[in-house]
Amino acid sequence: MLEEAGKSFKSGFISIIGRTNVGKSTLLNQLVKQKISIISDKPQTTRNRIVGIYTTERAQLIFVDTPGFHKPQFKLNEMMMEIARKSLEGVDIILYVVEPEEKVGAGDQYILAQLQRITTPVILVINKIDTIQKNRILPVIEVYRHLYPFREIVPVSALTGENIETLLDCLITYLPEGPKYYPEDMITDQPERVIMAELIREKILQRTQEEIPYSVAVVVEKMEYNQERNLYTIQATIYVEKDSQKAIVIGKGGQMLKQIGTLARQEMEAILGSQVYLELWVKVKKNWRMDERSLRAMIYQT
């Protein structure tokens, strides 16, 4: 190891912030080189604080993916926003992710105002550069350069991986010297049950429309491993707010639930490296997004 050769080892915590749906979770997965945060094209996909860990010979980068800044409508959204605001505190670097647009909307103006009160180094990441012509990147950089004293501005594509290595090198430059907080083979601090529940929710987000994605919570009730059979048995409950939503998630003849289960099981098996027997139930829990007790039990587990 480099630290053994007398060279300094760097480590630190890096918060990933931005509006909803700017690609923060996709970026996190690229940075740690493995999927740990669920992805969909629906806003407010990330509800909680997800930690991803990337360790090299010279540094350990601990990323915190947070819910996107948005206007709260339910108690759930209020708790998500509190997590997002707290993510500005107690970290070594802030990665502020934006889309490649020259017009800065109200959401980004709000975030920039929040950044004015902190002294933490902020690196601007202009994501989704694969969606625009290269000559449009410089004007976007110019707009943001005059709005805040960013330490660096790095254009990337979280989808294709373009410039991700440049961003990693940039982050290591700004990290302080420090210890290895986590074992080098560890990529997240999330319990396996939480990751499995989120995978199920991701498949629901991808397969359903309208109000369903925002009204769904998933709780893994049981997760057991049989070493002799190399088999995980996972039982999970999908909570919705209305009977009509339950009918949509189950689908005609149970087809939607079967599709969700098949897609989730395939990804679980790839992550766990074993066979998975997955059982899903759908239950109605009216107005759970407005009930703090339900939120803490089902989402935030406190």
Residue extents of the structural domains in the chain: 3-174, 192-300
User: From 3.30.300.20, 2.102.10.10, 3.30.230.10, 3.40.190.10, which CATH number describes the 192-300 domain?
Assistant: 3.30.300.20
What single-letter DSSP state applies at residue 176? P
Neighbours of 108 (CB within 10 A): 20
Q: Give the model's pLDDT for residue 19.
A: 85
Question: Which residues of the chain fall below pLDDT 70?
Answer: 1-7, 37-50, 66-89, 210-214, 288-302
Q: Give the model's pLDDT for residue 77.
A: 47
Tokens 């099981």 — which residue?
265
Can you tell me the distance from the alpha carbon of 216 to that of 204, in angstroms, rounded to the nearest whole number?
8
Q: Give the model's pLDDT for residue 293.
A: 61
Domain formed by 3-174, architecture: 3-Layer(aba) Sandwich (3.40)
Q: pTM of the predicted model, to two decimals?
A: 0.67
Query: Do the strands 275-284 and 93-98 form a parallel or antiparallel pair, or are they unpaired?
Result: unpaired
Q: Give the model's pLDDT for residue 86.
A: 57
